[in-house]
């Protein structure tokens, strides 16, 4: 994604996605080779004259026919993106020198590449350290064409909080990356975001661990919003949904911080957004569970992408964090967490399903005093 420089080098200026890519398509079409242009015709005539001087018995019409039959574009597949006249780009913008800051590519990462040797940097600080790239199978059918739609890459971060009375803050971690189409609405992204809090079951289950709740948290508390560029996009797909942003807008109005607008999430397409790439936005659900949302990239759809609308949104990467294992057997992933359990040395203490029932119950009866909740491991979910 071509980015303009602003106060922070990794953040672009506000981009109206639809207008930007309409202009980009027009620029791309202007760079395609035109065999009918006067420059190309003059070049062909000069080539024929040179061949005739060298003794070749060839006419101008024969050369035109030979040039058309040997056109490299005849080797293209139907789904390939259109080729670009690279020589024309170089002539207009100059050659790229990798040892210097690029002059015609205003990409922040390339601009700063000359200042740092990425290979010598500490791997722990690289962007995709500890990231698993997913190789999903393509769906059946095809209803998309390369270049006809926009693919946006969105990074979703895990909720974070600071310890009260302490300066210790847990580092912000990207949970997963999601690819969406420009013509899809915001609610499609919301339904794809994975959060363990949404699978929580309300209440202490220590008295009856076999009890299953009819609904999990995300099925009970269905309200939520995205906050992009001073606009709250609320989810009103269900009649009982409420406007989470109302209390925030009222507070901002009293403090005279700003005038924030509202829109409907399920009626707004990504194509209609104005966003800054690299800038952290907010997704809030389940009352007060907040995630940072970052638009990291955008490009035209090409032939190697999934060309079926039903494949989007889809996961691109997930965080390779370690699973939370049972503190008893150290073998299986945790499925339960207990609080105020005097029979164990840890509080909270995590159990797999087998160890939880065998250690805390005898003949189905609870041993001791503790509270128990189902635990959904973030790594196991992804």
User: What pLDDT sits at residue 317?
Assistant: 85
Residue 327 lies inside a defined structural domain of this protein: no
| Strands lying side by side in the sheet with 150-157 | 131-133, 314-319, 174-181, 150-157, 289-300, 280-285, 224-228, 231-234, 261-264
Q: Which of 274, 291, 319 is the last residue of a domain?
A: 319
Residues 115 and 181 in one domain: yes
Q: Which of 291, 319, 347 is the last residue of a domain?
A: 319
Locate 14 and state its tokens. Answer: 């506000």
User: What pLDDT sits at residue 132?
Assistant: 75
| Helix, strand or coil, per DSSP, at residue 267 | helix
Residue 330 lies inside a defined structural domain of this protein: no
Residues 245 and 360 in one domain: no
Residues 296 and 346 in one domain: no
Q: Which of 267, 293, 319 is the last residue of a domain?
A: 319
Residues 203 and 252 in one domain: yes
Residues 286 and 375 in one domain: no
| Helix, strand or coil, per DSSP, at residue 102 | coil
Residues 293 and 233 in one domain: yes
Locate 3 and state its tokens. Answer: 């980015």
Residues 298 and 369 in one domain: no
Locate 204 and state its tokens. Answer: 């202490």
Residue 326 lies inside a defined structural domain of this protein: no
Residues 221 and 155 in one domain: yes
User: What pLDDT sits at residue 321?
Assistant: 72
Mean pLDDT per 10-residue run, the chain (382 residues)?
A: 51 87 75 52 66 66 72 68 55 45 56 55 56 70 82 88 54 86 93 82 76 73 90 91 89 85 92 91 88 90 84 86 84 87 88 90 87 78 64
Residue 209 lies inside a defined structural domain of this protein: yes
Residue 301 lies inside a defined structural domain of this protein: yes
User: What pLDDT sits at residue 355?
Assistant: 92
Residue 341 lies inside a defined structural domain of this protein: yes
Residue 141 lies inside a defined structural domain of this protein: yes
Residues 266 and 117 in one domain: yes
Residues 315 and 340 in one domain: no
Check residue 286 and give left, alpha or beta (phi > 0: left; psi -120 to 50: alpha).
Answer: left
Residues 166 and 276 in one domain: yes
Residue 69 lies inside a defined structural domain of this protein: no
User: What pLDDT sits at residue 363?
Assistant: 85
Burial 163-172 (b: 16+ CB within 10 A, else e): eeeeeeeeee
Q: Using CA atoms, how far apart are residues 243 and 275, in angstroms rounded to an integer?
A: 22
User: What pLDDT sits at residue 80?
Assistant: 65
Does the pTM of the predicted model rise above 0.75? no
Residues 211 and 360 in one domain: no
User: Contact 357/377 with Cβ under 8 angstroms?
Assistant: no
Task: Report the number of distinct structural domains present in the chain.
Answer: 2
Q: Which domain holds residue 341?
A: 336-381
């Amino acid at each position: 994604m071509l980015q303009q420089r602003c106060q922070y080098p990794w953040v672009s200026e506000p981009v109206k996605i639809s207008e930007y890519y309409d202009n980009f398509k027009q620029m791309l079409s202007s760079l395609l080779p035109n065999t009918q242009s006067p420059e190309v015709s003059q070049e062909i005539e000069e080539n024929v004259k040179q061949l005739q001087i060298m003794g070749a018995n060839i006419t101008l019409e024969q050369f035109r026919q030979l040039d058309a039959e040997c056109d490299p574009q005849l080797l293209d597949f139907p789904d390939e993106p259109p080729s670009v006249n690279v020589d024309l780009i170089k002539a207009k913008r100059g050659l790229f020198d990798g040892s210097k800051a690029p002059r015609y590519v205003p990409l922040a990462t390339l601009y700063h590449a000359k200042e740092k040797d990425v290979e010598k940097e500490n791997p722990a600080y690289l962007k995709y350290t500890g990231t698993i790239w997913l190789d999903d199978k393509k769906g059946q059918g095809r209803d998309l064409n390369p270049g006809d739609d926009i693919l946006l890459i969105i990074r979703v971060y895990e909720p974070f909080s600071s310890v009260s009375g302490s300066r210790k803050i847990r580092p912000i971690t990207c949970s997963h990356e999601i690819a969406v189409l420009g013509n899809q609405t915001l609610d499609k992204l919301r339904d794809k975001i994975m959060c363990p809090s949404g699978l929580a079951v309300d209440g202490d289950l220590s008295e009856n661990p076999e009890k299953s709740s009819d609904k999990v948290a995300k099925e009970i508390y269905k309200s939520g919003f995205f906050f992009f560029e001073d606009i709250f996009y609320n989810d009103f797909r269900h009649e009982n949904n409420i406007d989470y942003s109302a209390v925030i807008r009222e507070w901002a109005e009293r403090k005279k911080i700003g005038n924030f607008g509202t829109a409907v999430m399920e009626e707004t397409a990504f194509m209609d957004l104005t966003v800054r790439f690299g800038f952290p936005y907010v997704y809030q659900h389940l009352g007060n569970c907040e995630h940072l949302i970052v638009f990291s990239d955008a490009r035209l759809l090409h032939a190697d992408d999934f060309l079926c609308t039903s494949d989007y949104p889809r996961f691109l990467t997930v965080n390779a964090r370690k699973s939370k294992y049972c503190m008893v057997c150290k073998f299986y992933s945790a499925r339960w967490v207990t609080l105020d359990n005097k029979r164990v040395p840890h509080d909270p203490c995590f159990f797999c399903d087998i160890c939880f029932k065998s250690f805390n119950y005898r003949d189905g009866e609870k041993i001791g005093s503790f509270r128990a909740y189902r635990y959904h491991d973030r790594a196991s979910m992804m």
